[in-house]
Amino acid sequence: MAMVTAKLCSPAATCLPGGRTTSSLPRRSALPRRATLIRAAAGSYADELVSTAKSVASPGRGILAIDESNATCGKRLASIGLDNTEVNRQAYRQLLLTTAGLGEYISGAILFEETLYQSTTDGKKFVDCLKDQNIMPGIKVDKGLVPLPGSNNESWCQGLDGLASRCAEYYKQGARFAKWRTVVSIPCGPSALAVKEAAWGLARYASIAQDNGLVPIVEPEILLDGDHAIERTLEVAEKVWSEVFFYLAQNNVLFEGILLKPSMVTPGAEHKQKATPEAIAKHTLTMLRRRVPPAVPGIMFLSGGQSEVEATLNLNAMNQEPNPWHVSFSYARALQNSVLKTWQGRPENVEAAQKALLVRAKANSLAQLGRYIGEDESAEAKKGMFQKGYTY
């Protein structure tokens, strides 16, 4: 009696009639894969972008943000009784940008388009005033916030149309980094749509900016509005930054050639319990370590309506131990409030106002190094500047 022997198939093979397996069939030669070359967004500017980002993220220095729109600058001028004219805007920005010794504490200045093309009353370009003090000129490139259809009364940031040509022109004018601000509102959700729109817009902008030689500052501001606890802010911040880096990677953005401008993780402005600088530092650094790759050279915090002193104390608390990134500041109101109140639009007050700027710049420089003490601060510097629904 003939014995039938079953032939076992290997796990990687399929049994066929007659005891054959797929592994015993003639193998087709592998089809050559078509090479797909993906050019990084940075293109030929990669080395320059890395160098620029490192220069801005240099020890003991941070960013002076004076990129307020003409309308917002007009509100600042109105607070000291000045009309919103180009002459007055130019005079105020000249005061700021010609402050002797500013480069010791400030590594970059974000300008509004008008300011990028302006000069001092003596005819020297503002861009050259900055370069003479080793301060990198930057430029606001977004076109502001508009309502986001289909959302819970949320916003999205416009400005991608024509962005490449604008960035190329700004580079020719001397700008070397850019800023794009979008916002996320916790009281409004935030909705998945709003978070995705914010992240995608930032990623497209960052890719376009790098392609034209500008280091992009990535800024999804989580507004202070609301009465939520600090834990809720942390939850939202982690979600937002997770989406942002997902889309930055999809758009082939060079992480070593970007800077971040996040909100600090704080309770909502209307929350009943105020957080200490130590608690804010703990929650903020927790979020950053969970979401931000160490390849990113600099974290330049926005002040978001905190008082001048609060913003400095919180930054100082975050620099009490080494971080994987340069942790510094990109402040507007938290550097300018005392300056504006000192100036009052009077030529005879310019020198005193410039000294006030140096006081605030030095305080934040010390905070970046973790050495700020906070003594002898004025009552004006301790005043909060939160504005519900703030627009820039």
Q: Report whether pLDDT(17) > 80.
A: no
Per-residue DSSP letter, 386: -
Mean pLDDT, to the nearest integer, of 156-182?
98
| Summary mean pLDDT of the chain | 89
Q: How many structural domains does the chain have? A: 1
Domain that holds residue 356: 45-369
Residue 33 lies in a domain: no
Catalytic residue (choose from 68, 140, 261, 308):
261
Per residue in 158-173, is it b (16+ CB within 10 Å) or e — as a string? ebbeebeebbeebbee
Matching residue, tokens 């006030």: 356
Residue 235 lies in a domain: yes
pLDDT value for 304: 82
Residue 6 lies in a domain: no
Cα dihedral 245, 251, 256, 258, rounded to 10, equals: -80
How many whole angstroms separate alpha carbon 111 and alpha carbon 113? Answer: 6
Q: What does the pLDDT look like over 181-233, one tens digit per residue?
A: 999 999 998 999 999 999 999 999 999 999 999 999 999 999 988 999 999 99
Residue 58 lies in a domain: yes
How many whole angstroms separate alpha carbon 47 and alpha carbon 170? Answer: 19
Residue 377 lies in a domain: no
Catalytic residue (choose from 68, 219, 221, 377):
219
Q: Rounded to the nearest 10 degrees, what angle do helices 86-97 and 350-368 cross at?
A: 50
CATH code of 206's domain = 3.20.20.70
Residue 13 lies in a domain: no
Establish whether 261 is a catalytic residue. Answer: yes
Own/partner long-range contacts of 146-150 (Cβ < 8 Å, ≥24 apart)? 148/193, 148/194, 148/197, 150/193
pLDDT value for 31: 46
Residue 382 lies in a domain: no
Mean pLDDT, to the nearest integer, of 95-122?
98
Q: What does the pLDDT look like over 273-314, one tens digit per residue?
A: 999 999 999 999 999 999 999 999 999 999 988 889 999 999
Residue 15 lies in a domain: no
Q: How many CB atoms lie within 10 A of CB 7?
A: 9
